Structure 1
């Protein structure tokens, strides 16, 4: 059995995602809320300078800086590269093993509700996801495989994952989403506590998983400028089916652009504000039922 000895809760890797920022500040002020008897819980703010400025980042996206190469490269001097090395040291103190769990708190302008983002299919993560979605039907589970050290904070340990909530504008707190995220964090910690105590009964439950298949960019002209918007019929319909031939974008001239795929997909991160600069209009997923984990 995988024993959880140390867990880390990180909020504010993006400085304008305030749900995680203020949850971490609350946990720092009231550590008993996240303390559990069988493991230590570390809470930290990911990007303090960006939080202070109310920006996503200062020089570059911190949540892409945790690559093996970048963390070992002493010549990288951007604020986020330096901060990534500091976080690595906090998560892996000298003469101690790396934390067993990373809970990375994020919010999105897309209508993702309460989402768990998994980077691997570790049985304990799948069991946790099945438990959380069984006690709260609002929880959705998104699987996007990432190799260890791929750049995302969650990829730094086998039991790393993201809690992503939305829709909420950047730089804004939504009280209901804050409350729901807080309760989800407690449910995660309680599950790991019971796991350590051997109190988890194995159930043959079915887990609904949305598996990453790719991304779609906005239509753009030769100068790289977008030429269309998310279609009104698609906006805020994260995790809902998109069928071939259904509207995808609406041009500024009012012309519909249709989805030309060959099978039904389930878009998520639809119209995420932070992804405009990354050339991403949405992620596409396939809906799967997982039985054996």
Structure 2
């Protein structure tokens, strides 16, 4: 097996997302599923303390601790210290990382189906998303054009990071169809790396794919004390990746009053009513649907 082609599959970055944890256990017991002709992937259970407590994190979201700034300063809490330890083991983050690929497994309470997240404009990672989408046409590519330094995700420690997000599923639960969709997306991702190593992926041809590019998160309605005073409007609930036009219902106050979307142009939505975002009172993410082209 090629030592330079180091591939790490991660579960439990969020301790209450049990699908990734369960899949890591399966892979550890069935290592042939991690093995391809040119490599055998490693596994990592990222936040074992949070997994044990069935909570997202102990003090800070681990998947927001991998910016260059947080990796370089004195750790202020358990997750920041853990992020720095993961970076030492698998990084260091940047072009000289000893990890070529890191694939992080996540779930969401939102109705997002199979979502393939590419956080940076990395043509190779976009190639992987494009390949997996060809195998699983229902999959959606979620794109955010971060710089490496600003990318807070754990998978940014590797030279190429990729995140698989599947839902809807409540936190702390397992459901077979979500587990199986995650397993299939991961298997196709590992196949892509094998085909790339074998020279079967044409890097000379430009690519184009429909993506949903992150714009911003919108807060739920809050009162003057900062308490949540409303919720996602029922017309928008479960409508992830649907279009939202100016004037259409966005939120509804607990009094029953509708709050319309007041943006200047139509957008698309994702992470609609994501339970994990209630710690910061976010209700959904705004996305821009676009055709993205890239080449090597």
Aligned length: 288
**Aligned-partner SS, 2:269:** coil
Alignment CA distance shift 1:204-1:69 (3 Å): closer
CA drift at 1:205: 5.7
Distance in 2, matches of 1:205 and 1:80, equals 37
Choose the corresponding residue for 1:259, options 258, 261, 264.
261
The 8 Å contact of residues 50 and 56 in structure 1, kept in 2 or not, is answered as yes
Shift of 1:51: 0.5
> Does the 8 Å contact 2:120/2:148 carry over to 1?
no
Residue equivalent to 1:44 = 44
| 8 A contact 1:148–1:157 mirrored in 2 | no
For residues 260 and 7 of structure 1, the distance between their equivalents in structure 2, rounded to whole angstroms, comes to 44
CA contact (8 A) 2:111 2:238 kept: yes
Counterpart Cα distance in 2 of 1:17 and 1:274: 10
Q: How does 1:161-240 map to 2 (within 5 A)?
A: 161-201=162-202, 206-240=208-242
The TM-score with structure 1 as length reference comes to: 0.92
**For the aligned residues, what is the CA RMSD?**
1.9
Q: Structure 2 vs 1, CA of residues 213 and 77 (structure 1 numbering), >3 Å: closer, same or farther?
A: closer
Using the TM superposition, give the Cα deviation of residue 187 of structure 1 relative to its aligned residue in structure 2, in angstroms: 0.3
Partners of 2:214 and 2:4 lie apart in 1 by 28
Correspondence for 1:83: 82
- Residue pair 1:58, 1:79 contacting (<8 A) in 2 also: yes
45-54 or 282-291, which deviates more: 282-291
What is the SS of the residue equivalent to 2:244? coil
TM-score (norm 2): 0.91
Tell me what 2:99 maps to. Answer: 99
Equivalent residue, structure 2, for 1:32: 32
Q: Is the 8 A contact 2:62 2:79 kept in 1?
A: yes
